[in-house]
Amino acid sequence: MKKHILVISQYFYPENFRINDMAREWVKRGYKITVLTGIPNYPMGKFFDGYSWTQKRYEKWNGIKIIRIPVIARGQGSVRMVLNYLSFMVSGWLWNRFINMKADMVFSFEVSPMTQVKVGCDYAKKHGVPHFVYVQDLWPDNVETVTGIHNRAIIGPIDRMVDKIYRQVDRIFVTSPSFVKAVVNRKVHVDRRKVTYWPQYAEEFYRPLSPQKVDGIDSSDTSFKIAFTGNIGTAQGLDVLPKAAMLLKNENVKFIIVGDGRYQEVFEKKIKTFGVEDKFIMIPRVEAEKIPMILSVCDAGFISFNKTPLWEKTIPAKLQSYMACGKAIVASASGETERIINDADCGICCKIGNARALADGIRKIMQLDVTKMGENSRKYFEREFDKKKLMDEMDKYINGWR
């Protein structure tokens, strides 16, 4: 009989994270899946319509049992975000005290905050079951990078919390080779044997498509289109785009921005400030299944970061999505992202935050064979990020644990 997996993830459907697809795939493979999550409010910071502390606390979705514990919505500003993080941890602690549901193992999906993994540690200890964690965001690096806080009085306790979590969990999966080094080389030793590079995959609906009709994009528009899809936040370093667009004012190029986020209003103001509204097409957040359709009419996908050591270690999930759709890639990035683009020969990587370098790179790629680059993207994806191969590998870890 297949195992009962308790998934701990502060974010879950209808929020758009890859754990949604992992959980569905586990159900298809015969596992019993229960997800402990919060009330959906990411990324805009307010509860989704129809959800609240009293509405839809328990759901069944694609054979997955979803339990939603109370959280304080992220809202705007750092104070609300901290309250959001702490509220999930406290609610999870209370849930653990009063619920006796017995799962065979715990799988914590860690995007920030790392505090959510403590809920999984608590459950695993109480029931004497193994606990796997999938680390998407390195803490406390992520806290320092995003907030700019470096005070040891604040970072020190977070650091010690992370050390304790890494000691308690049975296996640590990470999304890049650089993350392996970062975890293993912490001041408090982490056993290398329990740290595994397990990259993110892209769902099956991410695939190359012939050009589709897309609302908001004129089918007769012959411009070179570069798409950015996903969260519009400060970490994405999108400030470089309006500046590059101004330098490309005489080029037949447009940027298709798909998504929303806490930084969207500021980003749109910058577009107006630089007078490049004609270079941008803004499309509100869409279901992930619709992204390949939008990419089908674009020539390349765009990735950017702010310049920090943390982002250099990160492989962003949208990289796999673009590659799965057979797209050339334009990046204002370095580190792991640059390594993959170069290894795959699927695009160009420009100096982070340098608008002139980005504009020159875009002029260059407009003259190259982006179709061939897109084919290279897809081949690399199939070799390195194939879903079936990776989930088969995860099966071995889950079923091999005794």
Say yes or no to pLDDT of 111 above 80.
yes
pLDDT 10s digits, 327-378: 999 999 999 999 999 999 999 999 999 999 999 999 999 999 999 999 999 9
pLDDT 10s digits, 198-222: 999 999 999 999 999 998 898 888 9
Q: Find, among 69, 95, 70, 71, the residue nearest to 81 by Cα.
A: 71
Say yes or no to pLDDT of 262 above 70.
yes
Contact of 402 with 7, CB cutoff 8 Å = no
Number of structural domains the chain divides into: 2
pLDDT in the model for residue 2: 85
Q: What is the average pLDDT score of the chain?
A: 93
pLDDT 10s digits, 41-65: 998 889 999 999 999 999 999 999 9
Q: Find, among 18, 374, 348, the residue nearest to 208 by Cα.
A: 374
266 lies in the same domain as 155: no
Would you say the C-alpha torsion 139, 143, 148, 152 has a positive or negative sign? negative
173 lies in the same domain as 255: no
111 lies in the same domain as 121: yes
Q: Comparing 125 with 260, which gets the higher pLDDT?
A: 125
pLDDT in the model for residue 17: 92
Q: Which of 11-20, 129-138, 230-239 shows the lowest per-residue confidence on average (mean pLDDT)?
A: 230-239
Strand order across the 224-229 sheet: 280-283, 253-258, 224-229, 300-304, 328-332, 347-350
pLDDT 10s digits, 268-327: 999 999 999 999 999 998 988 999 999 999 999 999 988 888 889 999 999 999 999 999
Confidence class for position 138, pLDDT limits 50, 70, 90: very high
23 lies in the same domain as 125: yes
Domain containing residue 336: CATH number: 3.40.50.2000
- In a domain, residue 208? The reply is no
Structure tokens at 152: 């040891």
pLDDT in the model for residue 149: 76
The rounded distance, in Å, linking the Cα atoms of 306 and 402 is: 42
Contact of 319 with 344, CB cutoff 8 Å = no
- In a domain, residue 219? The reply is no
- Other CB atoms within 10 A of residue 212 CB: 14
- In a domain, residue 211? The reply is no
- In a domain, residue 316? The reply is yes
The rounded distance, in Å, linking the Cα atoms of 202 and 183 is: 24
Contact of 231 with 257, CB cutoff 8 Å = no
Q: Which residue has the tokens 């979590």?
A: 165
Say yes or no to pLDDT of 188 above 90.
no
Question: What is the identity of the amino acid at 196?
Answer: T
56 lies in the same domain as 121: yes
336 lies in the same domain as 317: yes
The rounded distance, in Å, linking the Cα atoms of 359 and 208 is: 26
Entry field: residues in the chain: 402
| Residue 149 structural domain | 4-201+386-400
- In a domain, residue 396? The reply is yes
Strand ranges for 219-308 from DSSP E: 224-229, 253-258, 280-283, 300-304
